[in-house]
């Protein structure tokens, strides 16, 4: 087991990464306020892991409430969030109950938001079971649900007490989701860690073949990057926004097509290619740099062209982005491979041209 | 104008109290992040104050989005909250937009919760227009909506940047709401400020007659008490819970009858009498003390008997209270007039007896 720490003063917490951690409830016990917990999962992950996970916790004398939600981004909404509140209130879970999110990014984001707002805040623990949630969404305290007009529009910054990333869980992940998770892994290389990008380029086939050592290495190096950025800028006043490389374009695809058509990682991959193309138009990247961005996503089995929504529809959807400040759209672009910035320098003409070129 | 400060390190903020403050936008300008604001009110307060208030702000060069919600506790729910998000997104309000809550406690709680969660947090300002919201709910950062199973069950601790209490607005308040506000004023005297209780006992007729000096004095002394408690215990780990004197019984009345039947302050008044009666059963108050609690509420025109729900129904509803910890109900009771404590000492038999005696 490898352990990293997210350093946030009194909100600091550990990330444990390794094989078989789901079967080790002793890792969870020190982080509970009382013996009362609620495990929240979805109807895909639940049948695979819930019974054994809960049995392990109950064997430690914990009283466990189970809540199973419908799976998928299309359910990351208020109605589904409310099923969590209904379940907690029906079983009289109080303010000292710890919520445990067992699942991927959607479960983690929703349970985190439920924890941030149930009785004005209860503790929670992330147990991510997908590559995407292990390398990105479970770390850093961004929680949210979607609104029909924009992704992750309603949410809170709310840190977990612990992240437990069991790499064994990746064995049951569908291929498409494994690839989608790689989009966020590649992202860290592109925005701030050139040696990691080179490592991914050398090991992408091992990752796709689910080599356990390669996956553990990718999860650890991703989490280390994420933890460093979150420590420096918890509430996204500056550097943290660079973690959103490809996300502004990607969210437009997800919202424009309806949540759940493209996986989040797929949309981010196409968005990263658009961002690279736009960075080239600003004179920051070479043609070879852009080809390198395209190539690594293609090798990871990810889309390198966006959905054909039309440039105007993209711009309209992007105007709702959370990085818009005082009416001005800001984008995460690449000054170089391995160095992202947040900028308002891109002209609308160039943005349109990049969208047209990459769809 | 009188000014108090709520001292919470980087989350500190001023409370301005005085006549005519709604007509003085210069008080608001220093607290805005950008020139983009959204004023959210309800369909009772809106017709009285919205046009003039917004005109004053627009004259200062601000761009203002208006959102008008249906009035009342029955609308303090997700559906109504979502109308705020719809309005903000439709007009592309971004993360730097400041939300202004213009109205009573329901508006303040909902706009505060919207501010806590829109795009993971935007700044907000409280402009309370009722006595209850000026003396209590606008100060201290408790925000929430109701759930069918419990009042204020979904919410956040989220502080405003400024509270602007215009005592002139109390002139348009219906008598019933003025009286309901007095319940929270009396509460401060009962829990921690005996000289203030004595002042209220000497001045309750002036308050009911809306004597401007008496009202300003009551608002200031209430806010000073509230600010002191919130500074000492922002997230209700201890002392802050004493502000909930009468609220556990009161919330049971509100939830049990359906939101909006009783005003919040009315339910709190009846609840305070029940808490006093229970304190007597624990040997902490004398018969004369309880009679004093009954008398001041009666003189303020407030109910001193609870709704007849039956003791079992009360206990069932009270089991959802946020002060329940690890399954144990804790109540705010009076060790003496002017000194509240939070305690799990009351036996269920005594609680039942107090409910039966006071309904």
Interface contact flag, A147 B85, Cβ < 8 Å? yes
Q: Please state the three-class secondary structure of B265-293 as a single string.
A: HHHHHHHHHHHHHHHHHCCCCCHHHHHHH
Tens-place pLDDT, residues A100-132: 999 999 999 999 999 999 999 999 999 999 999
Going by pLDDT thresholds of 50, 70 and 90, the confidence category of residue B149 is confident
A247 is annotated as an active-site residue: yes
Q: Rounded to whole angstroms, what are the CA distances from B91 to A110, B35, B66, B115, B125?
A: 26, 14, 10, 16, 19
Q: Are A338 and A193 in contact (CB under 8 A)?
A: yes
Average pLDDT in the A45-51 region?
97
Per-residue pLDDT tens for A290-316? 999 999 999 999 999 999 999 999 999
Report the alpha-carbon distance of residue B103 to residue A14 in Å, rounded.
Answer: 43
Contacts of B157 in chain A (CB under 8 A): 120-121
Q: How confident is the model at residue A259 (pLDDT cuts 50, 70, 90)?
A: confident
B325 touches chain A (CB under 8 A): yes
Q: Which CATH architecture fits A175-357?
A: Up-down Bundle (1.20)
The angle subtended at Cα B304 by Cα B300 and Cα B310, nearest 5°, is: 155
Q: What residue of B is the nearest CA neighbor of A114?
A: B154
Q: CB atoms < 10 A from the CB of A213, how many?
A: 10
Q: Which residue has the higher pLDDT, B320 or B89?
A: B89
Active site residue B184: yes
Mutation target among A36, A117, A158 for the B interface, most CBs of B within 10 A: A117
Residue A355: what pLDDT? 97
Cross-chain residue pair A325–B94, CB shorter than 8 Å:
yes
Smallest Cβ–Cβ distance between B325 and the set A94, A121, A325 belongs to: A94
Whether pLDDT at B327 is above 90: no
Examine the pLDDT at A75 and tell me if it is beyond 90: yes
- The CATH class of the B2-172 domain is alpha beta
Nearest by CB to B92, from A92, A118, A320: name it.
A320
Which residues of chain B have a CB within 8 Å of the CB of A90? 149
Residues A322 and A68: their CA atoms lie apart, in Å, by 30
Å between A184 CA and nearest CA of chain B: 21
Position B150 pLDDT exceeds 90: no
Q: Which of A34, A144, A324 has the CB atom closest to B94's CB atom?
A: A324
Measured CA to CA, the distance from residue B155 to residue B110 in angstroms comes to: 9
Q: Do the Cβ atoms of A150 and B89 come within 8 Å?
A: yes
Tokens 């043609």: give the residue. A287
pLDDT at B326 (0 to 100) = 78
Between strands A63-69 and A36-42, the pairing is parallel
- Burial (CB count within 10 angstroms: exposed 0-12, middle 13-18, buried 19+), residue B5: exposed
The residues, ordered by sequence, that sit 6+ positions from B233 with a Cβ below 8 Å of its Cβ are B239, B240
Start-end of H helices in chain B: 45-58, 78-90, 105-117, 131-132, 175-192, 194-208, 212-232, 247-257, 264-281, 287-299, 311-318, 348-357
ipTM, two decimals, is 0.93
A2-172 and A175-357 have identical folds: no
Confidence at residue B320, expressed as pLDDT on a 0 to 100 scale: 86
- Please choose, from the candidates B161, B75, B83, B79, the residue with its C-alpha nearest in 3D space to the C-alpha of residue B116: B161
Task: Give the other-Cβ count within 10 Å of A308's Cβ.
Answer: 11
Whether A142 is catalytic: yes
Domains of chain B by residue range: 2-172, 175-357
Encode pLDDT of B23-58 as tens digits.
999 999 999 999 999 999 999 999 999 999 999 999
Intra-chain end-to-end CA distance of chain A, in Å: 42
**Nearest residue, CB atoms, A154 vs list B85, B150, B324:** B85
A325 and chain B in contact, CB less than 8 A? yes
Quick check: B264 pLDDT over 90?
Answer: yes
Among the listed residues A177, A184, A217, A254, the single catalytic one is A184
Chain-centroid distance of CA B11 in Å reads: 20
Do B215 and B205 touch, CB atoms closer than 8 A? no
Q: Does the pLDDT of residue B288 top 90, yes or no?
A: yes
What is the b/e burial string over A122-147, where b = at least 16 CB atoms within 10 angstroms of the residue's CB? Answer: bbbbbbbbbbbbbbbbbbbbbbbbbb
Beta bridge partners of A39: A66, A100
Q: Does A89 touch chain B (CB under 8 A)?
A: yes
A344 touches chain B (CB under 8 A): no
- Whole-angstrom Cα distance, residue A312 to residue A103? 35
Q: Cβ of A316 under 8 Å from any chain B Cβ?
A: no
Phi then psi dihedrals of residue B95, to 5 deg:
-65, -15
Which of B61, B82, B94 best tests the A interface by mutation, with the highest count of A CBs <10 A?
B94
Contact predicate B127/B100, CB 8 Å: yes
- The pLDDT tens digits of the residues spanning A133-169 come to 999 999 999 999 999 888 899 999 999 999 999 999 9
**pLDDT tens-digit profile of B190-208?**
999 999 999 999 999 999 9
For the entire predicted model, the pTM comes to 0.94
Contact A153 B89 (CB under 8 A): yes
* Phi/psi at A331 (5° precision): -125, 150
Q: Which one of B61, B78, B120 would you mutate to disrupt binding with A, by most A Cβ within 10 Å of its Cβ?
A: B120
Contacts of B82 in chain A (CB under 8 A): 78
User: Rounded CA gap, B357 and B345, in Å?
Assistant: 19
Task: Write out the two tokens for B51.
Answer: 């046009």
Q: Measuring CA to CA, which residue among A351, A350, A354, A263 is closest to residue A300?
A: A263
- Verify whether the Cβ–Cβ distance A142 to B120 is below 8 Å: yes
Instruction: Report how far residue A19's alpha carbon sits from residue A262's, in angstroms, rounded to the nearest whole number.
Output: 29
Chain B contact present for A156, CB below 8 A: yes
Pairing of strands A13-18, A2-6: antiparallel
Q: Number of Cβ pairs closer than 8 Å across A and B?
A: 110
């Amino acid at each position: 087991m490898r352990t990293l720490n997210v350093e946030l003063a009194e909100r600091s917490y550990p990330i444990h990464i390794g094989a078989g951690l789901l079967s080790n409830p002793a890792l969870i016990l020190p982080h509970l306020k009382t013996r009362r917990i609620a495990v929240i999962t979805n109807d895909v992950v639940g049948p695979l892991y819930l019974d054994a996970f809960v049995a392990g916790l109950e064997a430690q004398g914990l009283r466990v409430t189970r809540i199973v939600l419908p799976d998928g981004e299309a359910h990351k909404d208020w109605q589904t969030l409310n099923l969590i509140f209904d379940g907690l209130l029906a079983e009289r879970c109080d303010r000292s109950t710890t919520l445990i999110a067992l699942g991927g990014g959607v479960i983690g984001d929703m349970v985190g938001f439920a924890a941030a707002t149930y009785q004005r805040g209860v503790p929670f623990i992330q147990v991510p079971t997908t590559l995407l949630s292990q390398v990105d969404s479970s770390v850093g305290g961004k929680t949210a649900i979607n609104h029909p007009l924009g992704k992750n529009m309603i949410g809170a910054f709310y840190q977990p007490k612990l992240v437990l990333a069991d790499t064994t869980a990746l064995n049951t992940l569908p291929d498409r989701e494994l690839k989608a998770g790689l989009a966020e892994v590649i992202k860290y290389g592109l925005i701030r860690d050139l040696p990691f990008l080179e490592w991914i380029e050398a090991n992408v086939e091992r990752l796709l073949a689910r080599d356990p050592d390669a996956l553990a290495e990718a999860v650890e190096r991703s989490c280390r990057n994420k933890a460093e950025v979150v420590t420096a800028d918890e509430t996204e006043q500056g550097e943290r926004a660079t973690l959103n490389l490809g996300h502004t374009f990607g969210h437009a695809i997800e919202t424009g097509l309806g949540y759940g058509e493209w996986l989040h990682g797929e949309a981010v991959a196409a968005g990263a290619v658009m961002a690279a193309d736009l960075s080239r138009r600003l004179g920051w990247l070479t043609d070879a740099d852009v080809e390198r961005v395209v190539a690594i996503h293609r090798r990871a089995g990810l889309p390198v062209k966006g959905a054909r929504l039309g440039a105007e529809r993209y711009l309209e959807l992007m105007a709702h982005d959370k990085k818009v400040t005082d009416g001005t759209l800001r984008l995460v672009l690449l000054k170089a491979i391995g160095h992202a910035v947040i900028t308002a320098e891109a002209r609308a003409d160039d943005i349109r041209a990049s969208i047209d070129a990459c769809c």
